[in-house]
Amino acid sequence: MNTRFLDWIWHVRGSLALAPGQSVDDAFDRLDPLFHQAGTSHDRTTDTLIFRKKDQAAQDRMSVFDGGILRIERDVAGLMLRYHLTSRALLFCFLAPLLFLGFAQATVILPKIFEPAAETKPKKPEVAKPPKKLNPIDAALGAPAPDPPKKDKKPGEDDKKPSPTPGYIFAGIFAALYVIGRILESRRVKRLFRKSLLDA
Amino acid sequence: MDGVRVGKRVIGAQAPVTVGWENIPRVEGGPMKQIFFTWFQPVMLFALIAFWFYAPNSIAKASTAIWIGVGFKVLLLGLEWLTPRHESWRLTWKELTTDLFYVGLGYTALRMVDTYVGDGVMIEAIQHSLNWEKFAWFTGLPLLVQAILISFVFDFGQYWMHRGMHNWGPLWVTHAPHHYITQLNINKGAVGNPVELFLIGLGVGGFFDFMPRAALLAGTFGLAVATYQHINVRFNTPRWWRFLFNTTEHHSVHHSQDFEASRSNYSGTWIIIDRMFGTCVDGEAELLGMEGGRRMSVGETMVYPFTEGWKTLKAKFGARRGFERSHSGTVMPAE
C-alpha cells in the first residue's frame, strides 16, 4: 500500500528554489542555526541534512516537527531545497477528535452501566433544606430573590450527570485545529526556510 | 548568580528572578494603552460581580457562567496575541493545541471520573448527612460575603494541597509535569497529569450549602482573578489587587527555573494566604520550567507519576533487596 495516501496527515513535504548562484554549502550554513536548538540533533552530508528533535522547547521555531530530511538537488531551474518533515503533534491532533468522540460516547454508556446497580440500592431520604432567603442588604441593593423550590420535581432532575456535549465540542475544535495547523505549519516552515536562505 | 535574600531564603541564585514590585516594568505605550492595561483587571472583576449580582434567575445559571468563561478566555487570548508580555511566551499552534487537549480532558474524562469517585461523590455523601438548619446562618449572609468565603475556603484547601505537592514526594510526582511548562498562556493552568488535576480539584467549598448566586459570584473570583496566573500579558496591576490576589508576576516566580523561587506563591486566587504563611515572593520571572526548560510531552505527562513512583520504589526497596541477595551470594549489591 502506498503510505503517501495516509502519511500527508503528519508528513510535510515541500521545495524551495535556491537563489541564483547560491551553493549547497552556503544554503546549509544558513539553515544550520535552526538545528542548533535544545533537544535537536542533526547530521549533514554533502547534499543532505537529517535532523531529529526530542522534548524540543516551545520556543523552538520548528517545535512542531520531530524529525526530517532536507536535501538540495539540481533541477532544470537550478538548485532546489526539498524537505520532508514529520510531526507527531499533527498526527495526534488528527486523532484527537476520535478520542473526544470516545469520551462523549462513554458519558452516554457509563451511566447505563452504573445506574441499574444504583437503582437497587435503597434510596436515601431527601434531606429537607430550609427555604433560602435573601439577606436584607442584598434585597436593599436590588438583587433578585431566589426562586422557591420546585414542588413537582421530576425524578433525577437534580442529578449532575456529565453531558456528552463537551466531548462533541472538543472533537470539533480539534478537527478545526488540525486543518488550521496542517496549512499554517507547512506555510510557516516554508517561510522560515526561505527567510533563513535569503537572510544576509 | 547571587540571588536576593527574601526572609530566610535566597531567591534567584539558580535562574533569573526579579524580586520586588519596584523592579517590575510597567506597560509601555501611549496614554490609552496605559489606561486600558491599568483598569482592565478591576473593571472586568467588578463588571462580572455586578452582572452575577443583578442577573435575573433565568440567566444566573452555571451554563451562562461556562459561556462567559469561554468568552473571557477568548478575549484574553486576543490580548496575548496583540500585546504579549514576553515574545518568548508567544502562543504557537502546537502550544495552543496541547493546552486545549488538557482543557478538553478536564471537561470530559476528568469530569466523568469526578462524578463517580471524586468530590462529586464526597459532596453528595456529606450533604446527605448534614443538618441543614445549622447552615442557615451561612445562606443568610450577604451574597458577596458568602462568595468571598466560598472562594477563600476553597483556595485555602488548594493552598495546602499545592504546598503539600511541593513538599512530599508522592504528591510532587503528580504535580511535577505542570512545572515543565516554559511559558504562561491562558490555558496553561490545565496542563498537567490528570491525577494532579483531580487532587487539586478536591475542594471543601462544595461541602457547604450556599445561595446558587453566591457560588456563581465565587466562581467570578476564579475567572477574573485566578485566570491571570497563566497569561502572557503585562498589566499595571493596582497595589491593592496584588496585595490580595495572585497575579501573573507571582505565578511566574512560582514557575521559575530557580528552585527556591518555585517554592513560593502556592495559592490560586488569594495571594494573601501566602502572605499569611510567609510563602509569598513579590516579583516576576521569564525563564520558566524544569531541567533547563525541557518540554515534557503529553505522553510523558500522562505516565510521569507512575514511572517516577516506580523508580523511587525500585530505588528504595530494590536496593534493599539487592543488598540482602548479595549476602546470600547470588546477586551483586545494588549501586
Q: How many CA atoms lie within 13 A of B68 on its CB side?
A: 21
Question: Which residues of chain B are within 8 Å of residue A38 when distances are taken between CB atoms?
Answer: 292-294
**Distance (Å, rounded) from C-alpha A27 to C-alpha A109?**
57
The domain locations on chain B are: 4-20+30-55+78-316
Which residue of chain B is at minimal alpha-carbon distance from A53? B295
Q: Read off the C-alpha cell for B230.
A: 497563566
Average model confidence (pLDDT) across chain A: 87
Q: Where are the domains of chain A?
A: 4-91+181-198
Angle at alpha carbon of residue B290, lines to B288 and B296, rounded to 5°: 100
Looking only at the bridges linking them, the beta strands covering A67-75 and A48-53 are antiparallel
Annotate A157-166 with b (16+ C-beta within 10 A) or e (fewer): eeeeebebeb
Q: How many CB pairs lie under 8 A apart between chains A and B? A: 125
Helix (H) or strand (E) holding A41: strand A40-44
The rounded distance, in Å, linking the Cα atoms of B323 and B327 is 7
Question: What does the pLDDT average to over A108-115?
Answer: 81
User: If you average pLDDT over each of A116-125, A134-143, A145-154, B67-76, which comes out highest?
Assistant: B67-76
- The answer to whether A151 and A95 have CB atoms below 8 angstroms apart is no
Which chain A residue has the Cα nearest residue B89?
Answer: A59
Evaluate if pTM is beyond 0.90: no
pLDDT computed for residue B96 by the predictor = 97
pLDDT for the residue B131: 61
CB-nearest to B93 from A167, A174, A184 is A184
pLDDT of amino acid B128: 61
pLDDT of residue B328: 42
Contacts of A128 in chain B (CB under 8 A): 132
Would you write out chain B's pLDDT as a tens digit for each of its 335 residues? 788 999 889 999 999 999 999 999 999 999 999 999 999 999 999 999 999 999 999 999 989 999 999 999 999 999 999 999 999 999 999 999 999 999 999 999 888 887 776 666 666 666 666 565 666 778 889 999 999 999 999 999 999 999 999 999 999 999 999 999 999 999 999 999 999 888 877 655 455 557 789 989 999 999 999 999 999 999 999 999 999 999 999 999 999 999 999 999 999 999 999 999 999 999 999 999 999 889 999 999 999 999 999 998 888 887 666 544 444 433 333 32
CATH code of the region A4-91+181-198 = 3.30.530.50
Q: Are B93 and A56 an interchain contact pair (Cβ–Cβ within 8 Å)?
A: no
Going by C-beta distance under 8 Å and a sequence separation of 6 or more, which residues neighbour residue A26? Answer: none
